[in-house]
Structure 1
Amino acid sequence: MANFKVAVVAANGKAGSKIVEEAVGRGIDVTAMVRSKNKTAAQHAIVKDLFDLTTADLKGFDVVIDAFGTFKLEDLPEHMTSMKHLADALSGTNTRLLMVGGAGSLYTNPEHTQQLKDGADFPKEALPLSTMMGKTLEQLRLRDDVRWTYVSPAANFVADGPRTGHYLLRGEEYSTNDRGESTISYADYAIGLVDEAVSGNHIHQRISLIGA
């Protein structure tokens, strides 16, 4: 996989670092794109703010993985603006864009009129973030000029959970495993996301990953 080149944006973050670790472990050539010193296992690094990245910076990669995330209320719009910036930079190129998404926009009915975040028991403190990430997905769906894939995690996305080596690939609808659980560790999520990065099986689609 040494000739397969992946860039991970916001690689120093919790999700980004797990994705880098998984990809490097498979022998993939990984470049960390970070605002400050690279703290990951990536073989290369571009130290640059996300919003300063250019088409030239992203040239030559098979896949760019957007692992940007923020939980600060005042910064939530950056989920939208960062996606648009990367999509604009990749517009018309063969490089695929994979986005680390959210679970709140997963559908809870077959008609796809209700989302997980609409439920009465959805945590109120998570609603602003889920709403913004859902709007970002809506905008991404309009981008037929970019070869994108949006990857939602399970409802319970566990940063420090173990790497079991197993996950279930699902689609647009909220789902659970055989134990009725919707949970996945960052490490197992990284396995599924890197699998998608390598295969490219879901261009212009949203997929979801849950723990087996």
Structure 2
Amino acid sequence: MKIAVIAANGKAGQLIVKEAQAAGHEVTAIVRGENRSAATNVITRDIMDITAEDLAGFDAVVDAFGTVTPETLPLHTKSVAHLGDVLAGSDARLYVVGGAGSMVVDDKGTKLLETPEFPDMFVPLASAQSEQLDYLRTRGDFNWTFVSPAAEFDAEGERTGAFEIIESDAFTVDANGNNEISYADYAVGMVALIEAGSNNHKRVNIRH
């Protein structure tokens, strides 16, 4: 498969590039500056400047863009709106590296980010990513999947190759009561999700 990874210089982006290449896929990194990923095919472009010509011919596009400053948080939604316009009517699938905060914890629809246990410092980012998912659900003119990592998303965790893909808005836990994943295993799960080609217009949660 031909896979493009936007924001391939980020921690998640670099690992997704690595896993996709190891699985035998042809991977192109889309980055704003010097490429730091393992990809040898590179497009240098800001996410808001990506064109239909840039993404022509790709089977899958991974959007690993993320930002945390208050003035840039709206870019989570603005950027997927732009990518949706670029991909509208094509067969390519967009896989968005989303957040866990919008997962639902009860039958009242309470989101994880709305619970007392959710760290205050992460609420702005989680809210922006929740709005991103809400926006995606208004778009049926392109293929997308919102890929939430687990609530405990460990950047330094080991690669075990173990993961589960849960197609649900519900916050679920494993047999030990945990909702966690390492960045490395999230990348493994992302490549498996792309290869399966399912879950269109859905949110999934990748966890152990």
TM-score scaled to structure 2, two decimals? Answer: 0.97
Q: 2:48 aligns with which of 36, 48, 51?
A: 51
Match of 1:166 in 2: 162
Work out the CA distance in 1 between the residues paired with 2:161 and 2:115: 31
Work out the CA distance in 2 between the residues paired with 1:98 and 1:167: 17
Match of 1:142 in 2: 138
The answer to whether structure 1 residue 178 and structure 2 residue 175 are counterparts is yes
Q: Secondary structure at the match of 1:31?
A: strand
CA contact (8 A) 1:98 1:150 kept: yes
Query: Which amino acid in structure 2 is aligned with residue 62 of structure 1?
Result: D
The answer to whether structure 1 residue 77 and structure 2 residue 74 are counterparts is yes
Query: Which amino acid in structure 2 is aligned with residue 87 of structure 1?
Result: G
Match of 2:128 in 1: 132
Shift of 1:43: 2.8
Work out the CA distance in 2 between the residues paired with 1:29 and 1:13: 19
CA contact (8 A) 1:29 1:43 kept: no
Q: 2:192 aligns with which of 163, 172, 195?
A: 195
Work out the CA distance in 1 between the residues paired with 2:75 and 2:199: 25
Q: Secondary structure at the match of 1:178?
A: coil
The answer to whether structure 1 residue 64 and structure 2 residue 66 are counterparts is no
CA displacement, residues 36-94 of structure 1 (integer Å, 9 cap, x when unaligned): 11111113000111111101100000000000001112211111111111111001111
Match of 1:109 in 2: 106
The count of aligned residue pairs is: 207
User: Identity over the aligned pairs, expressed in percent?
Assistant: 44
Gaps in structure 2 of 5+ consecutive residues: none
Stretches of 4+ aligned residues off by more than 3 angstroms: none
Gaps in structure 1 of 5+ consecutive residues: none
Work out the CA distance in 1 between the residues paired with 2:4 and 2:187: 14
